Amino acid sequence: MSCHLKRLIRLITIWQCAPETKESPPRKRKYQRKEVVFLNTFAKKTPEPRTLVLLRRTTRTEGGPCLHFETRQTVLLRSMNDFAVLNTGRKMPLLGLGTWKSEPGKVKQAVVWALEAGYRHIDCAAIYGNEAEIGEALQEILGPSKSLRREDVFITSKLWNSRHHPEDVEPALLKTLKDLKLEYLDLYLIHWPYAFQRGESPFPRQEDGTMLYDDIDYKLTWAAMEKLVGKGLVRSIGMSNFNSRQIDDVLSVASIKPTVLQVEGHPYLAQIELLAHCRDRGLVMTAYSPLGSPDRAWKHPDEPVVLQEPLITSLAEKYKKSPAQIILRWQIQRGVVTIPKSVTESRIKENIQVFDFTLEAEEMNSITALNKGWRYIVPVIEVEGKRVPRDAGHPHYPFNDPY
């Protein structure tokens, strides 16, 4: 325990125990209790285990405050995040770790590094194929006598397209919870607004390579999602890759309103109109692929590279930050939750070091003005030897609308 913390506890203990003077008239005391976590910070590296101090404040209606302390020995992992407040009142960390394309064998360590670096938000999905390994990391770190409590970390997952049938929604969630070794999710999203053919295959195809779809209305899927909240299996529900019309379609029937819309978002796809649409309806936006997903298998050699944009690189030089940090700062500064993916320890640590500087208003506007409606993430398939948009012919395909 640091010497500064020892002095603080000693000082408050004396204050707490100081006797009333003889002149003090007897008085009846009423107490209003409130627990606050006091997070001690250290200038130098401290020996483990570090100390988590629970500050219990008791306020009297008459007289001064009375403070009580209790200590618990644990490995304290300090959060580095600010939060967005959902329409449920719950807090969602503005920066999280994305896990799409995080390979098995690497994602467990990536999650551990992220939580140790101060991340308190992990974004998952059943279709990513790595939730069981993520669950191993969570099991190691989360628990009453471990580094973090379950309630300290915000965990998201997503319902895949082949599980849209109302009878399949809860079993799909239970499989995710089993893999992640959790009792509940903080957020569960419908991954895409259209349904694939019901069954075990995540990508059911016809002989010519085109997809097999189902005609399930996503509003029926939403009603099944609402039941998960009532059962305490998820805290909040939302959508991914829905457009503005589809958002309003869900809102027209929702008993439980969506809290979050997750979509691709970066300076070349600033989602200006869609972000305004979400805010008008009380939704928080999450941006996936915020750095342009440069490790995509279908990356085209002549596509624009947002990390090489001259404005971004000049701001990086000005603030002595990386281009990635400038982009991430732009997103969180405009209130967009951001989930960069990495399995490299140095990049994981770098990506969260964005809360120690602020972009000027003119700089924020200049970055937003880079918007050109460019999508890096458009699912494609090969049909008769040609790569074509995978789902563009589906009536619920979201990218045919303006936003």
CA gap 80, 325 in Å, rounded:
14
Return the active site residues. Answer: 128
Torsions phi, psi of 104, nearest 5? Answer: -55, 140
In the three-class reduction of DSSP (H, G, I as helix; E, B as strand; rest coil), residue 268 is classed as coil
Are the CB atoms for 95 and 328 separated by under 8 Å? yes
Query: What number of helices (H) and strands (E) belong to the chain?
Result: 11, 17
Q: Which residues contact 152 (CB under 8 A, 6 or more apart)?
A: 79, 120, 142
- 3-state percent breakdown (helix, strand, coil) of the chain, nearest 5: 35, 20, 45
Alpha-carbon dihedral sign for residues 356, 357, 358, 363: negative
Cα end-to-end distance, the chain, whole Å = 53
CA gap 282, 257 in Å, rounded:
9
CA gap 53, 366 in Å, rounded:
44
Instruction: For residue 154, list its beta bridge partners.
Output: 121
CA gap 403, 396 in Å, rounded:
13
DSSP string, 75-139: --------EEEPTTS-EEESB-EE-TT--TTTHHHHHHHHHHHT--EEE--GGGS-HHHHHHHHH
